[in-house]
Amino acid sequence: MKDTSAAHWVEQRLWKWSKDGVPVGSVVPEGFQAYARILHPARKRSLDGGQGERVRWSTVAAWTGRVVHPQMQFERIANLAEHEFPLWGSPPMQGVLPREECERVAGLLRSFTSTPARCWFCIWDGYGFLDPKRYSSIPRVRAENRDYLLYRGPIDAVTDLAWGPSQQSPNLWWPDDQAWCVATDIDLADTYIGGSEECISRILGDTEIEAFRTTLDARVDIGGDTINP
């Protein structure tokens, strides 16, 4: 898409990255009543070589004796400094909101927008499955340290973005009425959502999603976990 004006409000509302760590406001735009942090599930080791059962961060913390709190970081609760691939399974996916959670979130957010048939999806332009020659002349959505290609479609398209065999959840997506915004940074194993208080309360109350309330000044990097060693 050559007209990226629909994303200007996002570009304007994202915070600058801080030298002392990256705040939530640098990942998802400011201006919403409330914010939530969704944790991507880890996976148990599968005996048949499949994807494996989903595991909540709180479960991993119970296994390792770490503390569950809104700013916990997976590397610390899972002790990944010593075990990059723990014996019990695999860490959460980074930069991708898993399909089950993506479908669930889209279903919850649908009732909090008047424009579910017209949404916007940003995909980081550095993914290897994107042909640089094909997209070299396409204008980018510009954020600090991140440039994105912009797509438009109904909310249901959020799980249908694919380039050949490669599927990717959007790194940023929102409805045309700007009622909420979802952000999954390429380096993070969690997703952030800004929206109305009612919208965020709905996300936090869903038992199928592991989520915590957060704030714009909370840190998204590992240094944000000041409780777990």
pLDDT tens digit sequence for 38-87:
999 999 876 665 667 899 999 999 988 999 999 999 999 988 665 555 66
What number of H helices and E strands is found in the chain? 6, 13
Contact between 121 and 170 (Cβ < 8 Å): yes
- Is the pTM higher than 0.85? The answer reads yes
Average pLDDT, the chain: 92
- Say how far apart CA 157 and CA 154 lie, in whole Å: 6
pLDDT of residue 136: 85
Q: What is the average per-residue pLDDT within 18-37?
A: 95
Most confident by average pLDDT, 49-53, 140-144, 162-166: 140-144
pLDDT of residue 227: 96
DSSP character string of 132-147? HHHHTTS--EEETTEE
Task: Please report which confidence band the pLDDT of residue 173 belongs to, taking 50, 70 and 90 as the band edges.
Answer: very high
Could you give the C-alpha distances from 116 to 18, 45, 90, 215, in angstroms and in order? 34, 37, 34, 26
Q: How many CA atoms lie within 13 A of 15 on its CB side?
A: 19
- Has residue 163 got a pLDDT over 80? yes
Higher-pLDDT residue of 87, 215: 215
pLDDT of residue 13: 97
- Has residue 202 got a pLDDT over 90? yes
Q: What is the average per-residue pLDDT within 109-113?
A: 97
* Phi/psi at 195 (5° precision): -175, -170
